[in-house]
Each structure stands twice: as structure tokens, then as C-alpha cells.
Amino acid sequence: MQADLELEAVLNELMTTLSESELESEAEWEAAGAPSCPRLAPVTVGRFPRYAESIASLPPAEQQKVRRLAEIIVRSHRPGCRPVLQVNLVGHADRDYQRGPDFEHRISAHRALTVQRALQRLIGNPKILPRIVWHARGAGARHLIVPSPRNEAGRSRNRRVEVALSAGITANYPVLVKIPSGDYSWVLRDSLLAPPPAPEAESHVTFPDPIAVSNSQQVPFKWICSLLVDFGDEVLPGPIVTGKRIHGRGSGTLIGSRHVLTAGHVLLTQGPPQKDIFGNAVTSTTEALSVDVIPGRDGGKVPAVEPQGRRHAIKRRVSPAWKDSNATNRAFDYGLITLDAPVSADYGFWSSANSQISPPADAALHGQLAHCSGYPADSCPPPDPAFTPRCDGSNRGTVQFQMSGDVTNISAELLETQMKIQEGHSGSPTWLTSSSGAMNLVGIASASRSQAPEIAVRIRSSMLDKIRAWMREDGVRPAF
């Protein structure tokens, strides 16, 4: 509590100073008759005391750097300037032989998160913040400025956060692409820009394989939905209309009798980069025309199991910030589907039957065992004792697959886990299970490349406020 009060006091002081300096800068800017555009140079905020991670613990000069960074970001969004669209923060620690590498990584990540949150609060502009991709990570003690410090001054130089401001978005985000089979699926942007990894590099990936859910009518699997998405006619560069429809498959979670939570890119997605007639790169978004929702689906049974039948989406909403970012800001990669008819009253949904949707604290996430389940589009039904199902277009991607893995990295908006997400898992729930068996939905699967760890959009208060508002617009009182 004391640390929170100290942080609040420091931020209030910094925000007051920022407001005063902004007034001066604005006057100078108007007097000059041209925008005073800042230079986007990397900045290191450092000299944290041992075991400290708060802004209040920093020397005054380092606190001043945080204020200046916020000012630079705000100034960059003036007309005529190149706006900051991505902020990368890498936290570092000094070596701690007693507590070990796990502690070093944890405190370095917390330092990066602390600086990120301070910057977000100092900026405080709801028109600017959603445009920025924040990427905070911890590097532990792997990159020491002073490898063998002899005193506290040397050690404190290693305790730092390196901040890089960028006018372009380089972080991974899902892009809808045509895969070799001729179908469409979501692939991480970086995999389109870089050559595929060598076989020996892939051999180092040790994420556990997903396991087929044997009974999709158990909790929580009955609340997880298969989504069939229609994006309309395929148009190739030219433009050439092929007459083929673009269909995608995703996953979602029933969070009410008429509402399904999913990833934003399942409903509004970015296609692969193309070039105009002048050779300039052009990106565009594609909105889903229709979505069919199948809760608790199991196409590996005969007859196929669809306990609530198929529901049709009558409303498809995505985060306004996801739309405004041209479907690139993964921090806001979430959406909500409203069904044409509710599921049966006894079927339940997430936030009933020993389940909840609640934003967890940082300490309740890092290193915890997380779970995820959804409908990978290319997976075949597993062999059944009663029969051997065929695997073709009629039942591929119709069976739910679950997995588990540790939470390895957290930021204010994202989670990274040791789970192997596949195409079609996008929108799946990521949850934690307590010792009593209670399940808490903490994330929405966003990444969709099998050789990458899962990246999930973190459940947070602002997101829940938006989702609740959407549900109330439909005349539904949220249960969470």
C-alpha cells in the first residue's frame, strides 16, 4: 500500500510537470508556426536500487527521463510529425547469485512494466494511447553494462529499462493469407517477411502438442465454440474476382447465453501486404460478412455432436482501438459476437459453475500453469474406439484440442505462454485453475503459428468495461 501511494505521488508530480512543459512547448510551437517534432532516440531509464522496481525508487534525474519520454510521445502525435506507434521496453537486472535467473527475469520484466504503465498514465490521452503498440519484456541479467561491478554504483547501472520509440509497427500481428491447400488462415506477420526456420532450429521448439478433448460436453469445453467465418469473395491482385469465398475458422468462448468472446482479427482482419500500381506497399482490412457459432462441437463422433446446434451472429463488434490501428495493435485484439438466439438455460457459460472472468495481478500470472482449448483448423479427429473417422474437408478442424503450459512473459496487455497455438485456435480462452478447481479466464489466444509460443490478449478492467457495455446494449446484464 505504501509503495502504491509513493507511485501515485511521483506520477502526480510528473504529470503536473508534463502539463506545464506542454503548455510552454505549445506556445513555442504556435509562435514558430510549425510543428516542433521530436527526435525518436532510444533512452535508458536506470539506476534502480537493489530489489526495487518502482518509479518512486528512481533518482530524480531518471524520473525526469520518464517524464520527457511521455512528452516526446505526445509531441510526436501533433499534425505534421511522425507519430510514435510502437514503444519497446526491455527491463534488465544485475546478477543475483542467491535468488537466481528466475528472479532476475521476473524483476527485470516488472521494471519494464512499471515504466510502461507510468508512461501510459503520463500520456493519459485516450486518442493517442490506443494507437500505440506497447511491447515490454524482461531480459534478466543476460546483458550487463558492467559485467563485474565492484560497488553499488556499478551494479545499479545494470538495473535499467531500455526504451525505444518507433514510428512504425514491427510487432507480430495476425494476417489472413492463402495457405498451400488453397484455403485461408491467419499467420503471424513476421512469418511472411522472414524465411522459414531451418529444420535444426525447429527441433529446439519443445512446446507440448495439443491433445484432443474426449468429451466436449464437460466444463469448460462445452462453452468453447467453433467459429465459421465468411469474409466474402476472393479478390486477387489485378483485381481478379475468382468466384471463391474466403472462409476462416476460429474459436470463441460463451460468456453469456447470447454472447461469445473471441479475437478481434477473427472478425476484422488484415490481408497480406500488396502493392499499388506505383509499387507502394498497401494494407487493408477485411470485415467478416457472417459468422456461424457451434458451442461444444465434436465432429469426431458419429453422429457429430453439436449440443446447441448452430447459432448465427447478428452483431459482430471489435475493439475500436483494433479497428483504428488497421488491425495491427494486438493489445486490442478482441471482439464480441451476439447470437441470434440464446443457448438453453441449463447449458451455462463462462462465469458460471465455478468459473470467473477477472483481471489477475501480475504476481498471479508469471510462472503459473495456463490452459487453452480451441479448434485448430487443420487437425483431424483422433481415432475413436468404436470407429476410425476419415479426415477430409467435412470434419477437419471440427474437434476441440486442449493444451497447457507455463506463463513465461507478461506485459500490461499481453501474455506469452509455453503452448503451441495452431491456425484456428485464434480467439480461444486462456485460463488458470486454482487449487480448489476454480477457473479464471485471463486471456484470449491471438497468435496463430504452430512454431511460436501462444500470445494472448490479457483480460483487463478496461476490456471488461467495454464488453459489459456491449452486452448491456443488447439488453443483457453481464454475469461477471
CB 332 within 8 A of CB 325: yes
Q: How far is CA 246 from the centre of its chain?
A: 24
Model confidence at 23, pLDDT cuts 50, 70, 90, reads very low
Query: Which CA distances in Å does 438 have to 13, 131, 210, 220, 351?
Result: 41, 36, 22, 11, 10
Q: Which amino acid is at 288?
A: A
Closest CA to 18 of 124, 110, 104, 95: 124
112-151 residue pLDDT tens = 999 999 999 999 998 899 889 898 889 999 999 999 999 9
CATH topology of domain 2-166: 60s Ribosomal Protein L30; Chain: A; (3.30.1330)
What's phi and psi for 160, nearest 5 deg?
Answer: -155, 170
Task: Report how far residue 92's alpha carbon sits from residue 46's, in angstroms, rounded to the nearest whole number.
Answer: 9
Model confidence at 397, pLDDT cuts 50, 70, 90, reads confident
CB 222 within 8 A of CB 420: no
Helices (H), 138-202: 152-158, 189-193, 199-202
Task: Report how far residue 111's alpha carbon sits from residue 53's, in angstroms, rounded to the nearest whole number.
Answer: 5
What is the average per-residue pLDDT within 175-182?
78
Q: Which residue has the cell 533512452?
A: 43
pLDDT at 6 over 60: no
Q: What percent of the chain has pLDDT over 70?
A: 82
Rg of the chain taking only CA atoms, in angstroms: 24
| Contacts for 50 with CB less than 8 Å, ≥ 6 apart | 94, 152, 155, 156, 159
Annotate 50-66 with DSSP letters as a single string. Answer: TT---GGGS-HHHHHHH
Please list, residue by residue across 373-385, b when 16 or more beta carbons sit within 10 angstroms of its beta carbon and e when fewer do: bbbbbbbbbeeee
Closest CA to 246 of 267, 235, 230: 230
CB 292 within 8 A of CB 310: yes
76: enclosing H helix or E strand:
helix 60-76
CB 459 within 8 A of CB 431: no
Give the CA count within 13 Å in the CB-facing half-sphere of 9. Answer: 8
CATH 3.30.1490.20 assigned to domain 174-473? The reply is no
Domain positions in the chain are: 2-166, 174-473
pLDDT at 210: 85
309-357 residue pLDDT tens = 999 999 999 999 999 888 988 899 999 999 999 999 999 999 998 999 9
- Whether the bond between 220 and the residue before it is cis, its omega within 30 degrees of 0, is yes
pLDDT at 247 over 50: yes
Indicate the SS3 state at residue 330: helix
Task: Report how far residue 290's alpha carbon sits from residue 316's, in angstroms, rounded to the nearest whole number.
Answer: 9
Q: What is the phi-psi region of residue 467: left when phi exceeds 0, alpha when psi lies from -120 to 50, beta otherwise?
A: alpha
pLDDT at 72: 96
449-473 residue pLDDT tens = 555 678 899 999 999 999 999 999 9
pLDDT at 175 over 80: yes
Annotate 15-36 with DSSP letters as a single string. Answer: HHHHHHHHHHHHHHHHHHTS--
Fold equal for 2-166 and 174-473: no
Pairing of strands 259-262, 240-256: antiparallel
- Whether the bond between 38 and the residue before it is cis, its omega within 30 degrees of 0, is no
Q: How far is CA 271 from the centre of its chain?
A: 19
Residue 372's beta-bridge partner residues? 403, 430
What is the average per-residue pLDDT within 406-416?
89
How many Cβ atoms sit within 10 Å of the Cβ of residue 341? 12
pLDDT at 21 over 50: no
Q: Which pTM does this prediction carry?
A: 0.81
C-alpha cell at 331: 493489445
Task: Report how far residue 93's alpha carbon sits from residue 107's, in angstroms, rounded to the nearest whole number.
Answer: 7
C-alpha cell at 162: 531500455
415-438 residue pLDDT tens = 989 888 788 889 999 999 998 999
Q: Which amino acid is at 69?
A: L
CB 311 within 8 A of CB 225: no
66-115 residue pLDDT tens = 999 999 999 999 999 999 999 999 999 999 999 999 899 889 989 999 99
pLDDT at 379 over 70: yes
pLDDT at 228 over 80: yes
Indicate the SS3 state at residue 333: coil
